[in-house]
């Protein structure tokens, strides 16, 4: 029996710690692939410390965690003392009230906080950007407080109540009594509550996600937008360091408690070590808080303008793989501007983020039909083309497009096609007959489907021979029916996750944007791109716009102008592998891209492509409803 | 006569509608050793905490040195307390515990050191300054607690059952020690205990309390010899309490006989409680006795035997150094000074009957209580 217990304990430990072990091993792996260990390296760590963005994000997370811990500890301790002094009945009621936020689902807390902040910030105070550093801090304090209270309360209850009386008896005011006596008694509770708050705050995603503005983003929230590419190895290195930090903190705390316990039982002579250690911990926490506050004040004193750009993931050259770091180049040219990038997954997601409000965004790069919709929803500002003189380089065919007929709101960024990415090892060339490949039962379970209503319906419409801009509900119903038929064959509905799945050959067929397909083909040679010319395909344009929540319009126009420079545009396309709406840019692109038929299909091929137009709000909703029904809901049916 | 230092006037205390103290009136003189004595829940600790400033009375006043101090917080009163479980600060060593009050008062370091060291000598803990308080025995902790309070040179020291946690031997030693310290330093002690022996042996004045009311105030001898009612008579020592009738001054009738006594001032034929202390009863041969009874049980107590004797269906406790076996018929004599007469009170009939007294019976009830817990 004893032996079984021991084995079970060991098994549980293995179960608990093996994920961390894998992560640590991965952080030292020379190979790019997690699946085989190719050799030991510390490069990931070196790279981590060279990556300013990651370190800044980590800094943000640590700063928020430290401040949230400090505030929670201070207020939580005071609250616990207050609650403790209540009558037992009342105390019980208050304690269960403070415990509720802890058991409340994070997502509920997050959404309600977000609502509150936007309501107070935008609605009552008239702030343009109501979600910011402070809202994030308040949110973290909200979930940290109950943990501190929960940890401090038992210490107060264990404490001999007459200690307070004794201190007051000896001349202490109640405040002095707290700092001279009670604090020492409840310190272990404060420390463990603080450490809990710190670790919870450091890795909180769900609540943070809802209360994060564009200015101040923490690491977990940013990591979430990394779904497009497999997480880089330097991130493993960072997580390893984080894990070790928490691990050491926890071990130190436990040792401290163990020593304190032993001391109480068998102390024979004086040992000031424990007290000194406690004072050190208290000092350390105080120092961290001071540094944090200093950092905050210092950090807030920005003389530079912050330009908030919201872009698709992986949609601007960032200096990796020998490409130009566009943001860096821009900031070097205009040192008074600091670019702050954040990301969205789909046009629809961008639309809802902007209409929810509470954020500041200066530049967005949505697609054609969405620009049309945003114009009609009064969500875009007219551009001042005096500040965008590079607009002259834009090819005539991209000027005055259908989605912005007078060309008042947008400057084209890229254009491209939607086709099918497939794996040549597993897919028979003979099956490449058209969009019906996505309905081919031979590949059931190996097909990915694009996860947005517009592109999905577009594919069905090409297949069924309807216009992609049809508003005929009977036709739309037929498309929905078609998509529902496809559902049993589909492995997953994806957007950015497509990268990992296709590169790892977990699926073989997926419709996606040509430029992204090029990127995946660079990673896996067996991938190829197929454009169903006969049935037709979507030709889309992404264009730069300024939303109404913009605060730095002039800087935004400078940025748009910068990106429209042929040389910059060309360098940018090298990275994102799309077509540039500026012919002159082709000269600055690498040959294989400039001549690629995927990036720049021939005129006759292009003639078969069609562009999405914005359908009415009613039809958009109708399509969205049909799409959800066809792809999501029946998963439970 | 020393001057009056503390006076409690009509002190009433209520918690959640329950009356804990019921118009307490009491004065405490300077340099006096006054003990609040009573069973648990009698209100003695509450009274002490009100004097210390830890509780605010529902009504009534506390006067200190002629000034009403109801609203003065504990840290501004010239009073210090020795708490029931000492309440020493676990994060400080012996020296720092004792120095606590002086340091809060911001006295110069040399003076603190000097006064603490002197106090360590007073409580016989010289050389223990660096020791951690958790490494001390109960008695040593007790002395640290006393030193910590006394080092501030308070006018009054409040002691809340300070010896309750010590074993019997140590308790006796500490009683003498406390009395010595009190006399040496000339400080007023207000002492709370439920141990009547402790109260009698240490105090100048004993205040007997029950149910939130003062039952009797007096010198230990007076309290013992002249209890005011059945509660005091029973709580202080052992007493046989009988129903009697005061025929006239110095004449009381009970058990169908008239006895001479030393009490007077009762109404003719007033019903009274008659107290006879077990150790005052003289055992004589049956034919010489005022009363004749049969021994029903004998318990050896070391110094004496406790015997239960039945007189006409009523059982008395008698303490005697001579052995009388169970079933023996004995006679007793009562001298006038052995008989104490009390007015009837709410406690009449509740105490002083040993009908149910037996060693076996005690054990049985204890077992039963254990099972219930």
DSSP helix/strand/coil, A541? strand
Which residues in chain B touch residue A172, judged by CB atoms under 8 angstroms apart?
75, 104
Which residues in chain A touch residue B78, judged by CB atoms under 8 angstroms apart?
none
Select from A163, A169, A270 the Cβ nearest to the Cβ of B52: A169
What distance in Å separates the CA atoms of residue A500 and residue A491, rounded to the nearest whole number? 14
What letter would DSSP give residue B2? P
What distance in Å separates the CA atoms of residue A111 and residue A88, rounded to the nearest whole number? 34
| Nearest residue of B to residue A263, measured between CA atoms | B134
Non-local CB neighbours of B238 within 8 Å, separated by 6+ positions: B277, B278, B317, B319
**What residues in chain B have their Cβ under 8 A from chain A's Cβ atoms?**
52-54, 73-75, 79-81, 83-85, 87-91, 93, 100-101, 104-105, 130-132, 134-135, 148-149, 152
b/e sequence A437-472, b meaning 16+ C-beta within 10 Å: bbbbeebeebbbbbbbbbbbbbbbbbbeebebbbee
Contact yes or no for A172 and B131 at CB 8 A: no
pLDDT in tens, A537-569: 998 999 999 998 888 888 999 999 999 999 899
Mean pLDDT score of chain A: 83
Place of tokens 């006018």: B155
Distances (CA, A) of A264 to A248, A269, A298, A434, B168: 24, 11, 45, 79, 26
A512-516 mean pLDDT: 89
What distance in Å separates the CA atoms of residue A467 and residue A538, rounded to the nearest whole number? 11
pLDDT in tens, A103-112: 888 888 888 8
Contact yes or no for A269 and B135 at CB 8 A: yes
Closest CA to A169 of B31, B142, B86: B86
| Nearest residue of A to residue B132, measured between CA atoms | A270
pLDDT band at B365 (very low <50, low <70, confident <90, very high): very low
pLDDT in tens, B295-344: 988 888 888 888 888 887 788 889 888 888 888 888 888 888 888 888 88
Distances (CA, A) of A541 to A198, A538, A578, A580, A590: 45, 10, 10, 10, 21
Distances (CA, A) of A468 to A313, A473, A479, A529, A607: 26, 13, 10, 22, 15
Closest CA to A380 of A575, A168, A161, A550: A550
pLDDT in tens, A189-207: 898 889 889 888 888 888 8
pLDDT in tens, A313-331: 788 888 877 788 888 889 8
What letter would DSSP give residue A156? H
Which residues in chain A touch residue B89, judged by CB atoms under 8 angstroms apart?
163, 166-167, 181, 184
The pLDDT of residue B207? 93
| Nearest residue of B to residue A278, measured between CA atoms | B91
The pLDDT of residue A292? 54
The pLDDT of residue B166? 79
Is the CB of A268 inside 8 Å of chain B's CB atoms?
Answer: yes
Select from B79, B83, B134 the Cβ nearest to the Cβ of A165: B83
A52-84 helix and A133-158 helix, angle to the nearest 10 degrees = 40
The pLDDT of residue A633? 52
pLDDT in tens, A431-440: 888 899 999 9
pLDDT in tens, B3-59: 888 999 999 999 888 888 888 899 999 999 999 999 888 889 999 999 999 889 999
| Nearest residue of A to residue B99, measured between CA atoms | A170
Alpha helical stretches, state H, chain B: 44-52, 94-104, 109-122, 138-150, 168-185, 196-202, 220-225, 230-235, 359-372
pLDDT at A272 > cutoff 50? no
- Structural domains of chain A in order of their starting residue, each with its CATH number: 64-228 (1.10.3720.10), 305-413+544-576 (3.40.190.10), 415-540+616-635 (3.40.190.10)
The pLDDT of residue A251? 82
What are the structure tokens assigned to A634, written together?
Answer: 């029946």
CB pairs under 8 A between A and B: 79
Contact yes or no for B84 and A162 at CB 8 A: yes
pLDDT band at A585 (very low <50, low <70, confident <90, very high): confident
pLDDT in tens, A446-467: 999 998 888 999 999 999 999 8
b/e sequence A552-569, b meaning 16+ C-beta within 10 Å: bbebbbbbbbbbbbbebb
Is the CB of A181 inside 8 Å of chain B's CB atoms?
Answer: yes
pLDDT in tens, B152-195: 888 899 999 888 777 888 888 888 888 888 888 888 999 999 88
Between CA A371 and CA A373, with CA A372 as vertex, the angle to 5 degrees is 90
Contact yes or no for A181 and B89 at CB 8 A: yes
DSSP helix/strand/coil, A362? coil
pTM confidence score = 0.62
A273-300 helix and A183-202 helix, angle to the nearest 10 degrees = 40
pLDDT at A300 > cutoff 50? no
CB B306 within 8 A of CB B319: yes
The pLDDT of residue B328? 87
pLDDT at A267 > cutoff 50? no
Residue B153 — left, alpha, or beta (φ > 0 → left; ψ -120 to 50 → alpha)? left
The pLDDT of residue A265? 47
CB B190 within 8 A of CB B48: yes
Contact yes or no for B80 and A170 at CB 8 A: yes
What are the structure tokens assigned to B15, written together?
Answer: 């918690």
pLDDT in tens, A274-297: 555 555 666 666 655 555 555 544
Closest CA to A466 of A476, A451, A456: A476
Which residues in chain A touch residue B52, judged by CB atoms under 8 angstroms apart?
165, 169
pLDDT in tens, B107-137: 999 999 999 999 898 888 888 888 888 888 8
pLDDT band at A231 (very low <50, low <70, confident <90, very high): low
ipTM higher than the 0.90 cut:
no
Which residues in chain B touch residue A185, judged by CB atoms under 8 angstroms apart?
90-91
Select from A166, A263, A271 the Cβ nearest to the Cβ of B83: A166
Non-local CB neighbours of A396 within 8 Å, separated by 6+ positions: none
Contact yes or no for A162 and B87 at CB 8 A: yes
| Nearest residue of A to residue B85, measured between CA atoms | A162
- Structural domains of chain B in order of their starting residue, each with its CATH number: 4-225 (3.40.50.300), 230-372 (2.40.50.140)
pLDDT at A270 > cutoff 70? no
Beta-bridge partner residues of B252: B246, B259
Please give the helix or strand (H or E) that residue B287 lies within, else none. none
What distance in Å separates the CA atoms of residue A223 and residue A107, rounded to the nearest whole number? 18
Q: What percent of chain A has pLDDT over 70?
A: 89
A473-486 helix and A617-631 helix, angle to the nearest 10 degrees = 20
pLDDT in tens, A124-143: 776 666 778 888 899 999 88
What distance in Å separates the CA atoms of residue A462 and residue A556, rounded to the nearest whole number? 37
First to last CA, chain B: 51
Q: What percent of chain A has pLDDT over 90?
A: 19
What distance in Å separates the CA atoms of residue B11 and residue B213, rounded to the nearest whole number? 10
A567-595 mean pLDDT: 86
pLDDT in tens, A44-81: 888 888 777 778 888 888 889 999 999 999 999 999 98
CA A365 to chain centroid, in Å, comes to 17
Place of tokens 């009381």: B252
Mean pLDDT score of chain B: 86
pLDDT in tens, A10-48: 888 888 888 888 888 888 887 666 667 777 888 888 888
């Amino acid at each position: 029996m004893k032996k079984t217990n021991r084995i079970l304990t060991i098994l549980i430990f293995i179960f608990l710690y093996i994920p961390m072990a894998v992560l640590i091993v991965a952080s030292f792996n020379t190979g790019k692939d997690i699946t085989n260990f190719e050799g030991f390296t510390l490069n990931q760590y070196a790279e981590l410390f060279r990556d300013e963005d990651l370190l800044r994000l980590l800094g943000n997370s640590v700063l928020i965690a430290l401040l949230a811990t400090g505030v929670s500890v201070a207020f939580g301790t005071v609250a616990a003392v207050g609650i403790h002094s209540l009558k037992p009945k009342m105390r019980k009621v208050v304690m269960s009230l403070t415990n509720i936020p802890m058991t409340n689902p994070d997502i509920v807390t997050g959404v309600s906080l977000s609502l509150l902040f936007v309501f107070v910030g935008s609605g009552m105070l008239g702030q343009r950007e109501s979600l910011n550093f402070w809202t994030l801090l308040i949110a973290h304090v909200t979930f940290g407080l109950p943990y501190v209270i929960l940890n401090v309360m038992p210490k107060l209850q264990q404490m001999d109540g007459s200690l307070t009386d004794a201190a007051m008896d000896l001349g202490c005011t109640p405040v002095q009594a707290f700092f001279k006596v009670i604090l020492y008694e409840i310190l272990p509770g404060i420390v463990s509550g603080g450490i809990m708050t710190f670790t919870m705050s450091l890795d909180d995603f769900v609540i943070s996600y809802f209360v994060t503005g564009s200015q101040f983003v923490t690491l977990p929230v940013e990591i979430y937008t990394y779904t497009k590419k497999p997480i880089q190895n330097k991130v493993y290195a960072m997580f390893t360091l984080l894990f070790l930090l928490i691990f050491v903190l926890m071990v130190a705390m436990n040792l401290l408690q163990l020593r304190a316990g032993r001391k109480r039982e068998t102390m024979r002579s004086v040992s000031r070590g424990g007290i000194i250690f406690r004072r050190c911990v208290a000092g350390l926490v105080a120092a961290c808080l001071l540094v944090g506050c200093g950092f905050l004040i210092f950090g807030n004193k920005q003389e530079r303008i912050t330009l908030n750009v919201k872009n698709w993931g992986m949609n601007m050259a960032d200096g990796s793989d020998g490409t130009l770091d566009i943001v860096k180049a821009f900031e070097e040219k205009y040192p008074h501007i600091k670019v702050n990038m954040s990301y969205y997954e789909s046009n629809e997601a961008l639309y809802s983020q902007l209409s929810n409000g509470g954020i500041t965004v200066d530049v967005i790069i949505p697609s054609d039909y969405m620009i049309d919709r945003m114009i009609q929803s009064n969500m875009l500002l007219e551009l001042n083309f005096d500040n965008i003189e590079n607009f002259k380089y834009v090819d005539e065919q991209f000027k005055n497009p259908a989605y912005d007929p007078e060309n008042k709101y947008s400057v084209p960024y890229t254009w491209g096609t939607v086709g099918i990415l497939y794996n040549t090892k597993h897919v028979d060339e003979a099956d490449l007959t058209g969009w019906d490949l996505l309905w081919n039962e031979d590949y059931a379970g190996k097909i990915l489907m694009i996860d947005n209503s517009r592109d999905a319906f577009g594919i069905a419409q090409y297949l069924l021979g309807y216009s992609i801009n049809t508003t005929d509900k009977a036709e739309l119903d037929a498309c929905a029916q078609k998509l529902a038929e496809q559902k049993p064959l589909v492995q997953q509905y994806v957007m950015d996750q497509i990268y990992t799945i296709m590169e790892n050959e977990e699926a073989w067929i997926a419709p996606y944007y040509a430029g992204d397909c090029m990127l995946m083909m660079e990673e896996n040679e067996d991938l190829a791109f197929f454009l169903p010319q006969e049935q037709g395909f979507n030709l889309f344009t992404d264009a730069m716009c300024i939303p109404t929540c913009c605060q730095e319009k002039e800087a935004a126009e400078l940025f748009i102008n910068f990106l429209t420079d042929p040389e910059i545009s060309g360098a940018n396309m090298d990275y994102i592998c799309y077509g540039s709406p500026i012919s002159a840019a082709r000269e600055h692109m690498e040959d294989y891209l400039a001549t690629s038929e995927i990036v720049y299909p021939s005129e006759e091929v292009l003639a078969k492509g069609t562009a999405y137009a914005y359908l009415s709000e009613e039809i958009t909703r109708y399509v969205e409803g049909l799409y959800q029904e066809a792809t999501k809901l029946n998963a439970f049916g | 006569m020393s001057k009056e230092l503390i006076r409690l006037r009509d002190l009433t205390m209520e918690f959640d509608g329950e009356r804990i103290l019921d118009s307490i009136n009491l004065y405490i003189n300077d340099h006096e050793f006054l003990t609040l004595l009573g069973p648990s829940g009698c209100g003695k600790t509450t009274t002490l905490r009100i004097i210390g400033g830890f509780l605010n009375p529902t009504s009534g006043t506390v006067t200190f040195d002629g000034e009403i101090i109801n609203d003065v917080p504990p840290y501004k009163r010239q009073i210090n307390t020795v708490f029931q479980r000492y309440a020493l600060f676990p994060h400080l060593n012996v020296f720092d515990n004792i120095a606590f009050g002086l340091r809060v008062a911001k006295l110069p370091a040399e003076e603190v050191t000097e006064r603490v060291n002197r106090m360590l000598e007073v409580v016989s803990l010289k050389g223990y300054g660096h020791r951690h308080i958790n490494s001390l025995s109960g008695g040593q902790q007790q002395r640290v607690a006393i030193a910590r309070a006394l080092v501030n040179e308070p006018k009054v020291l409040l002691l809340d059952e300070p010896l309750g946690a010590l074993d019997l031997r140590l308790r006796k030693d500490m009683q003498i020690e406390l009395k010595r310290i009190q006399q040496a330093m000339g400080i007023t002690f207000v002492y709370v205990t439920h141990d009547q022996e402790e109260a009698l042996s240490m105090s100048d004045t004993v205040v007997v309390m029950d149910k939130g009311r003062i039952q009797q105030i007096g010198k230990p001898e007076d309290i013992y010899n002249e209890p005011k009612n059945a509660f005091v008579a029973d709580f202080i020592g052992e007493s046989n309490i009988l129903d009697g009738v005061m025929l006239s001054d110095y004449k009381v009738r009970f058990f169908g006989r008239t006895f001479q006594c030393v009490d007077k001032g009762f109404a003719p034929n007033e019903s009274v409680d008659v107290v006879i202390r077990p150790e005052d009863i003289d055992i004589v041969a049956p034919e010489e006795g005022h009363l004749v009874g049969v021994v029903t049980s004998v318990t050896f107590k070391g110094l004496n035997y406790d015997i239960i004797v039945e007189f006409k269906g009523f059982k008395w406790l008698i303490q005697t150094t001579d052995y009388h076996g169970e079933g023996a018929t004995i006679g007793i004599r009562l001298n006038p000074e052995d008989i104490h007469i009390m007015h009837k009170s709410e406690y009449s009939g509740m105490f002083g009957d040993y009908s149910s007294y037996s060693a076996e019976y005690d054990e049985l009830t204890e077992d039963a209580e254990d099972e219930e817990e």
